[in-house]
Amino acid sequence: LNGLDDIGLTLMDHEAIATFEAKHRASQPWLFRDA
């Protein structure tokens, strides 16, 4: 695991996670209310 902990491994995939979150928010906007 190259000396990375769970958070470090997750941060390596930050671009894929951000892309997923944007698509998810666009496809189901009712789940995300602006406070």
As a whole number of angstroms, the distance between CA 8 and CA 14 comes to 10
For the chain, the structural domain boundaries read: 1-35
Contact indicator for 27, 34 with CB cutoff of 8 Å: no
The reported pLDDT for the residue numbered 35 is 57
Cα distances (angstroms) measured from residue 10 to each of 5, 13, 23, 35: 9, 5, 19, 27
Contact indicator for 23, 15 with CB cutoff of 8 Å: no
Q: What is the pLDDT of residues 1-35, one digit of tens each?
A: 689 999 999 999 999 999 999 999 999 999 998 75
The reported pLDDT for the residue numbered 34 is 75
The reported pLDDT for the residue numbered 30 is 93
